[in-house]
């Protein structure tokens, strides 16, 4: 099966030459989501908690467009501008993923697009592939 682009107006459009997600049939690779309002393209709030909440909602909307949900996520990669935000980020993140939570890597980065505080990307597996 060839790669298929996943797009939804319920998540911010790509701000570069990439897709919101790519469906390979077995897996869905979701590009990083920022805490942006999809309607306005503006970051929601200034705190990492507010931006994490919106980023995860955006991610959920991309997953839904592929026919998947948070429980299908096998791996996330998370980027924080300030590791001092780690606890606040974790508090919001934990509410979105059921047990067992996905594998995860979290990195401190020098900066993110739109001066965001957090970005979250994911890899989800189709139930038939587990």
Q: What percent of the chain has pLDDT over 70?
A: 98
Candidate from 28-32, 55-59, 95-99 with smallest mean pLDDT: 95-99
N- to C-terminal Cα distance for the chain?
18
- What CATH number is given to the structural domain containing 63? 3.30.1330.40
Question: At 1, is the pLDDT very low, low, confident or very high (cuts 50, 70, 90)?
Answer: low
Give the predicted TM-score (pTM) of the model: 0.95
Coil, helix or strand at residue 62:
helix
Its domain, for residue 115, covers 4-129
pLDDT surpassing 70 at residue 74: yes
**Over residues 43-51, mean pLDDT:** 97
Quick one: pLDDT at residue 11? 98
Quick one: pLDDT at residue 98? 87
pLDDT surpassing 70 at residue 130: no
Which class for 47: exposed (0-12), middle (13-18), buried (19 or more C-beta within 10 A)? middle
- If one counts the domains in the chain, the total is 1
| Mean predicted lDDT score pLDDT of the chain | 96
């Amino acid at each position: 099966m060839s790669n298929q682009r996943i797009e939804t107006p319920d998540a911010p459009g790509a701000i570069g030459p990439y897709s919101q997600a790519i469906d390979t049939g077995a897996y869905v690779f979701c590009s990083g989501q920022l805490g942006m309002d999809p309607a306005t393209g503006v970051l929601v709030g200034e705190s990492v908690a507010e931006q994490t909440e919106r980023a995860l909602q955006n991610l959920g909307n991309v997953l839904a467009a592929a026919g998947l949900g948070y429980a299908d996520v096998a791996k996330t990669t998370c980027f924080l501008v300030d590791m001092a935000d780690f606890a606040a980020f974790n508090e919001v993140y934990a509410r979105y993923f059921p047990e067992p939570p996905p594998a995860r890597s979290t990195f401190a980065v020098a900066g993110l697009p739109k001066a965001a505080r957090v970005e979250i990307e994911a890899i989800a597996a189709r139930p038939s592939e587990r």
